[in-house]
Structure 1
Amino acid sequence: MLLRWWRRLTAMRTAIILLFLLALAAVPGSLLPQRSLSRTSVNRYFEENPDLAPVLDRLYLFDVFSSPWFAAVYLLLFISLIGCVVPRAMEHARALRTPPPPAPRNLLRLPDSGRLDSALAPGAALDAVEEELRVRRFRVVRRETAHGPELSAEKGYLKETGNLLFHLSLLALLLGLAGGKLWGYEGSILVTEGQGFCNTFQQYDTYSAGPLVDSADLNSLCVDLDQFRAEYEEDLTAASFTADIRYGEPAGEDRARTIGVNDPLRIDGDRVYVTGHGFSPTFTVTLPDGTAFTDVSAPFLPTDQQTLASEGALKLPDLGAGQEEQLALEGFFAPTGLMQGGLLTSVDPRPLAPQVAIFAYQGYLGLDSGLPQSVYSLDASQIERGRLTEVGAANLSVGESLDLPDGTRVTFTGYKEFAAMQYSHDPGQLWVLGASIALLAGLLGLLLLRRERVFARAEPAAAGGGTVLSIASLTRGGGESRPRFTALTDDLQDALATAASRTATYPEVPSRD
């Protein structure tokens, strides 16, 4: 029973079915938001689909690539490929050392067969055929049989080699992908101009790592964002994003580099990508006693990718010893602001006329409560419980201010741009690249090469001397075999005629002994 199930599992048909199932299982991972990529998107999906989302979550459809059923298909595909390819590779290795088989007794019964007449002796005729076949890169074996001298020739072993290389490369590709997931990690963070980050998981907004990654394994690297530039086409679609950065070890010398969306920083196998951008409006907060906090800012997340209209919050828990209540600003930033129906909106992603609509709150922010909260929005529960009270609201252009009842002044001073950066470590990327190249080479060999055998037997002519050659061939794959056999017999006939003319021109001198 076990042997029968093992044979079914290691059959090539099963491997193909499992590969199809693996591709099918990956479809939900591209259609639904994944927690490993964006928890915010998953939470938004739960809010928009409160009835459907819990059902999908129980099926692991928000964690497809770490789900038990995806891992099961992946593991079964590994076992199937190993059990299928390894025995075939051993069999192919034995076949490479095995000479071509003897010619069938009745050559002329094969579909591609025929006779050739030659004035040469049987041995000399086979010599001419052998020479022509070796020019065509056939392996040739001569034999003496009861039916007369014959030869067997074979080529196209690289077709089976390409087949095995394709499947072995597929297995190596899957191993490389699995290794990258087990030992790889990636983190994402929003970095405002003039700020930076170091490669520690505590600094990332979102961080995911393989089960075999330890926090001490993270490479020591820090990145500072000096300037971000975005260029747009006439229809306001993005043309290019570039970021001028400085990077290096914490105690080492910084190096400058400009990176883009498709031009990441690559260092020691790690990569730093630019995945998006937005704006961080800046404010100056002046307290009643005259203490000023200048150019305080926080990233506002885009809600409209066409116009980069953004929403966010700026939390100021430590304004000074004499300030009992904490301050927070929540609002809407428009790179090119325009009032429509009494509401501020943005009509252009370029910062041509930046404006901000803010609501000011004072009270307790709850940052030291021990409960997690988003850094990009206020905790609504604090407002509902009355711990945060709205004390002012205004639409501001650059240079305009909002005065709060306690005498605090909030001035909108401008903006900085931020870049969404992703730090990725994937130790299997070179393995995957090499496996992909080998897979393509194996596929080309599998599709373009042909397995071909040629047999020839020489018999003396019934009358008049000379030789009658029986020729036959077997071809597997690569199209019609009859035209190829016709072209081969024409070349062999020319080779026999050439050899016969050489023999007639330079007759063999008999020995005097």
Structure 2
Amino acid sequence: MRTALLLLFTLAVVAIPGSLLPQRPVAPIRVSDWKAANPAVADLYERLGLFDVYHSPWFAAVYLLLMISLIGCIVPRIGVYVRALSTPPPRTPRHLHRLPAQASGTTALSADEALDAGEALLRSKRFRVRRDGESVAAERGYLREFGNILFHLSFVIMLVGLGWNSLWGYKGEVITVEGQAFSNNLTQYDDFTAGAAFKPADLAPFTVWIDRFTAKFETGEVQRGAARVFSADVRVAHADGSPETATIEVNEPLVVDGTQIHLVGHGYAPVVTVTDPTGQVAFSGPVVFLPQDGNFTSMGVVKVPDARPQYLGFEGFFLPTAVVDDQGPRSVFPDALQPEMFLTVWAGEPRTETGLPESVYSLNKTGLTQMRTPDGTLVTFKIAPGQIVDLPDGSKLSFDDWRRWTKLQVSYEPGLWLVIASVLLAVAGVSASLYIRPRRLWLRVRPDADGALRVEAGGLDRAESATGLADDVDELAAAAGVPHPDARDGVEGPGVAEVAATDDDDSTPASPAAAQEVAR
């Protein structure tokens, strides 16, 4: 257990870089930016795997060692527990009056009647009972140790579930505009991470259409602009082609063939049409703009590589509720009450297609210059839905409409049910170990010096915080025919050393801390 705790602490320490440094599976662009800003240590960090901590060999090594240590801790305890289940309660100690709680007195019952009555009471309270001649020994609370074992075993189950997810699971994100669809295919994802054992053929074949995205915000003075409703009305087509309708809301994912689809973000996509100087439509469709603040001031670019005779690029902001004041153009409300775009124009020689991936959210300005009017003024303009702007080179941009886009997180976690089960088992184990009270009771009936039958009852708790021991002892004595116990001490008792000095091998120490020695 000491080794397991040390490894658990080590696992927490080695996970720290994952919180301090950007991680490639989550934020690859931030990793690139960090490496560009810190070239002196970037290569070293890369070799150490600090940009993908949770998939690094050294993190996996600590993870596996922790699992091995936990198994090495649990297996011996299970063996001890199984042997304890098959072992009868310990024999009755010679000096019951030295136990923390005890009661004694004479009885009018015969010895067999008193012992039978005590045994019946103990069995009714779910004690395991052992009867030897003139005494009865009983014990209960075996499930307490089972709870401890279950709690530790739940950690192993959790590690297995997490490992299962890590090896065979996957997670991807995709932005889909209203009216468009997403198919569960690697080429459709904007970002995708998967485990080492994952294969593209493991992707469940389905398609999701985003028919409508609904967003509502608070319009009152209190919490103005706060989100109230985010939901996506979708259609899903399974592998067999059977369609179904569904609604995805925050914290209410759609589950398709074991794959979870979460709603994790949304924004605006202006619909624009660009006509080049030759009169040809070079671009037409929605363009995703990324929100920059709580009022959805959104930044984006419109790339028109097919424009002729020049490549055209537009860069700027979409403001759902636009105002222009001393702070400049900005949005003052997240809903599209007065949408406008503020754009600048870039132009340059047409580019040769290289096939290399390029971000759709930023404009590569290499070889481009900002467009100017004939008098040399930079071309910047404001445009609202339904308007058209004529540019100095003869091209045109029209702001046709706007739509909402939805960011979906698609994840497959085959071991998630195992992780959830382990958490439930851990709670059950802790509850059992906290609330089950291991307790031992003994009853002896034998004649005293005057020839009367004397009853002695005693008890010992194996948990420091247990209560009610004295009441159980009194009840046991009363069942054996002692109406009013004439001696009881439920508060103090002699220490282990005193008991050991006066009792022989079958005695029971009064201290709960020495309860494991009772059977000896």
TM-score norm. by structure 1 comes to: 0.85
Aligned AA for 2:88?
P
Matched residue pairs, number?
A: 474
Give distance in 2, aligned partners of 1:89 and 1:239: 52
- Relative to structure 1, the CA distance from residue 455 to residue 365 in structure 2 (aligned partners, 3 Å threshold; closer, same or farther) is farther
1:228 and 2:210 correspond: no
State the SS of the aligned residue for 2:361: coil
1:496 and 2:480 correspond: yes
1:336 match: 321
Match of 1:452 among 436, 439, 442: 439
Give distance in 1, aligned partners of 2:393 and 2:244: 47
Residues 459 and 469, structure 2, Cα contact 8 Å, conserved in 1: yes
Give distance in 1, aligned partners of 2:363 and 2:326: 26
1:74 match: 63
Aligned AA for 1:318?
D
Give distance in 1, aligned partners of 2:42 and 2:246: 43
Q: Which whole-Å deviations, capped at 9, do the CAs of 1:286-325 have from their partners, x for residues lacking one?
A: 3445444675221011122x11111111222235xxx343
Give distance in 2, aligned partners of 1:477 and 1:367: 78
Give distance in 2, aligned partners of 1:120 and 1:27: 70
1:19 and 2:8 correspond: yes
- Relative to structure 1, the CA distance from residue 478 to residue 255 in structure 2 (aligned partners, 3 Å threshold; closer, same or farther) is farther
Q: What is the deviation of 1:130?
A: 0.7
1:99 match: 88
Q: Which whole-Å deviations, capped at 9, do the CAs of 1:62-82 have from their partners, x for residues lacking one?
A: 323123332222111101100
Q: Which whole-Å deviations, capped at 9, do the CAs of 1:203-248 have from their partners, x for residues lacking one?
A: 1111000000011111101111111111112421222311111111
- Relative to structure 1, the CA distance from residue 22 to residue 293 in structure 2 (aligned partners, 3 Å threshold; closer, same or farther) is same
Give distance in 2, aligned partners of 1:303 and 1:161: 53
TM-score norm. by structure 2 comes to: 0.84
Give distance in 1, aligned partners of 2:248 and 2:291: 22
Residues 365 and 387, structure 1, Cα contact 8 Å, conserved in 2: no
Give distance in 2, aligned partners of 1:130 and 1:497: 13
Q: What is the deviation of 1:419?
A: 0.7
Aligned AA for 1:77?
L
Question: Does 446-455 or 69-78 show the bigger shift?
Answer: 69-78
Q: What is the deviation of 1:51?
A: 7.0
What is the root-mean-square deviation of aligned Cα atoms in Å? Answer: 2.6
1:272 match: 261
Aligned AA for 2:361?
Y
Q: What is the deviation of 1:185?
A: 0.2
1:240 and 2:221 correspond: no
Q: What is the deviation of 1:427?
A: 0.2
1:475 match: 461
Match of 2:428 among 428, 434, 441: 441
- Relative to structure 1, the CA distance from residue 72 to residue 44 in structure 2 (aligned partners, 3 Å threshold; closer, same or farther) is same
Q: What is the deviation of 1:46?
A: 5.1
Question: Does 20-29 or 418-427 show the bigger shift?
Answer: 20-29
1:417 and 2:404 correspond: yes
Aligned AA for 2:459?
S
Q: What is the deviation of 1:479?
A: 1.2
State the SS of the aligned residue for 1:472: strand
Q: Percent identity between the aligned chains?
A: 41
Match of 1:212 among 191, 197, 200: 197
Question: Does 116-125 or 417-426 show the bigger shift?
Answer: 116-125
- Relative to structure 1, the CA distance from residue 171 to residue 425 in structure 2 (aligned partners, 3 Å threshold; closer, same or farther) is same
Matches within 5 A, 1:113-512: 113-144=102-133, 149-233=134-218, 234=220, 235-249=224-238, 252-292=241-281, 295-304=284-293, 306-319=294-307, 323-341=308-326, 343-364=328-349, 366=351, 368-380=353-365, 382=366, 386-387=367-368, 390=371, 392-465=379-452, 467-477=453-463, 479-480=465-466, 484-497=468-481
Give distance in 1, aligned partners of 2:351 and 2:138: 84
Q: Which whole-Å deviations, capped at 9, do the CAs of 1:339-380 have from their partners, x for residues lacking one?
A: 234842222111111111112233356572243321111113
- Relative to structure 1, the CA distance from residue 230 to residue 423 in structure 2 (aligned partners, 3 Å threshold; closer, same or farther) is same
State the SS of the aligned residue for 1:134: helix
Q: What is the deviation of 1:122?
A: 1.9
Structure 2: segments with no counterpart, 5+ residues: 373-378, 485-520
- Relative to structure 1, the CA distance from residue 299 to residue 240 in structure 2 (aligned partners, 3 Å threshold; closer, same or farther) is same
Give distance in 1, aligned partners of 2:16 and 2:266: 28
Give distance in 2, aligned partners of 1:348 and 1:52: 43
State the SS of the aligned residue for 2:62: helix
- Relative to structure 1, the CA distance from residue 447 to residue 480 in structure 2 (aligned partners, 3 Å threshold; closer, same or farther) is closer
Give distance in 2, aligned partners of 1:237 and 1:231: 9
State the SS of the aligned residue for 1:273: strand
Q: What is the deviation of 1:443?
A: 0.9
- Relative to structure 1, the CA distance from residue 318 to residue 366 in structure 2 (aligned partners, 3 Å threshold; closer, same or farther) is closer
Matches within 5 A, 1:28-107: 28-30=17-19, 32-45=21-34, 60-107=49-96
Q: What is the deviation of 1:499?
A: 11
Residues 103 and 477, structure 2, Cα contact 8 Å, conserved in 1: no
Give distance in 2, aligned partners of 1:221 and 1:363: 41
Residues 126 and 458, structure 1, Cα contact 8 Å, conserved in 2: yes
- Relative to structure 1, the CA distance from residue 283 to residue 132 in structure 2 (aligned partners, 3 Å threshold; closer, same or farther) is same
- Relative to structure 1, the CA distance from residue 397 to residue 61 in structure 2 (aligned partners, 3 Å threshold; closer, same or farther) is same
Aligned AA for 1:96?
L
Give distance in 1, aligned partners of 2:233 and 2:201: 28
State the SS of the aligned residue for 1:497: coil
Residues 455 and 477, structure 2, Cα contact 8 Å, conserved in 1: no
2:498 match: none
Residues 361 and 389, structure 1, Cα contact 8 Å, conserved in 2: yes
Residues 116 and 471, structure 1, Cα contact 8 Å, conserved in 2: no
2:517 match: none
Structure 1: segments with no counterpart, 5+ residues: 1-11, 501-513
